[in-house]
Amino acid sequence: MFRKNKFQKLKEDLIEKLLFLFSLVSIFVTVGIVAVLSFETFAFFKEVSLLEFFTDTQWTPLFVRKHFGILPLLCGTLLTTLIAMLIAFPAGLISAAYLSEYASEKARGIIKPIMEILAAVPTVVYGYFALLFVTPLLKKCIPGMSGFNSLSSGLVMGIMIIPLISSLSEDAFHAVPMGLREAGYALGSSRLQVSLRIVLPAAFSGVCAACVLAISRAVGETMIVAIAAGQQPRLTFNPLVPIETITAYIVQVSLGDTPHGSLEYRTIFACGMFLFVMTYFLNIVSYKLRKHFQQVYE
């Protein structure tokens, strides 16, 4: 009496299989990407030694005198990331603290959607914003600055990342039990003391997770730096001159006329692999931190 008819069972099985297949798609894609990356990277390192890759201070694969040192590109990536984080960490954390501990319901209702719009702007728009608005503006204050530089792209990237840090940190603040705040207030704390000395430390690993994720996002960011930071791999921490990041280099080569299968062509896979390992590592750190944070409050 309670037995399903055959057709129904078949239908349910079919649906399950279908859903399973779709979930496999993303796994296949990931495996495919890693496979292609590894294959081409392996081919690259057959011709260029790891030692050269990590210690040479020049990156000139497209020139006659070829050098394959990742350091200048890495330096460019780190420099833009550093500038971006100098903006995004404080601004993101302060806005998260404001939204979670100070803002009235009404203020939150207005500010949060605006922040979300900031996160929804395409990065190419940010790129041109950096190149055509921020750079000329900065040039007025710093006359010696070049048209392409890491400062303006870093600044704009920082602005772009504020909502990410803000929203993730706010979640972490929000997860701090109300009881801790009450305990703080009951002992005679001011609002600032509760925010800085109770809520922030309690949410610390969650906030760290947000920041690490933001770094990973900045390291992998492409359009802004490709448009506004220049295309000159350079081992420098001077923010006023053109540089090139790892991602910008990949764009440069893949848009150019480098023949497939050549060593020059393979450089982008080596760079891609390097980038992948870096962001993957950062994401794992972020994940672990978040896990740790969740364990504390269960």
Q: How far is the CB of 223 from other proteins (least distance, A)?
A: 40
Pick between residue 26 and residue 295 the one whose CB is nearest to other proteins.
295
Taking the least distance from each CB to other proteins, the nearer of 196 and 263 is 196
Q: Which is nearer to other proteins, 190 or 238 (CB)?
A: 190
Written as one string, the DSSP assignment of 101-140 is II--HHHHHHHHHHHHHHHHS-HHHHHHHIIIIIHHHHHH
Residue 228 beta carbon to other proteins: minimum distance, rounded to whole angstroms = 42
- Encoded amino acid at 262, one letter: S
Toward other proteins, which CB reaches closer, 196 or 278?
196
156, 129 in Cβ contact below 8 A? yes
Task: Estimate the crossing angle of helix 71-97 against helix 246-255, to 10 degrees.
Answer: 120
- Cα→Cα distances 1→4, 5, 107, 137, 204, Å: 8, 10, 59, 78, 57
| Smallest distance, other proteins to C-beta of residue 183, A | 5
- What residues contact residue 206 under an 8 Å CB cut-off, 6+ apart? 168, 169, 171, 172, 173, 175, 289, 290, 293
Give min distance, CB of 224 to other proteins, in A. Answer: 38
Residues that bind other proteins (CB under 8 A): 104-105, 177, 179-190, 193, 197-198, 201-202, 296
In this complex, which beta carbon is closest to other proteins, that of residue 30 or of residue 190? 190
What's 68's DSSP letter?
B
CB of 165 to other proteins, least distance (A): 22
CA 254 vs CA 65, 136, 257, 269, 279: distances in Å = 21, 29, 8, 10, 21
Rounded to whole angstroms, the Cα distance separating 136 from 11 reads: 63
Backbone dihedral angles phi then psi of residue 59, each to the nearest 5 degrees? -125, 95
Instruction: Pick between residue 111 and residue 240 the one whose CB is nearest to other proteins.
Output: 111
Residue 123 vs 193, nearer CB to other proteins: 193
Q: Whole-number minimum distance, CB 118 to other proteins, in Å?
A: 27
- The residue among 105 and 257 lying less far from other proteins, judged by its C-beta, is 105
Give the other-Cβ count within 10 Å of 260's Cβ. Answer: 6
Q: Of 150, 289, 127, 270, whose CA–CA distance to 216 is shortest?
A: 289
Closest CA to 221 of 116, 150, 172: 150
Minimal distance, residue 112 CB to other proteins, in Å? 17
- C-beta separation of 285 from 214 below 8 A: no
CB of 201 to other proteins, least distance (A): 7
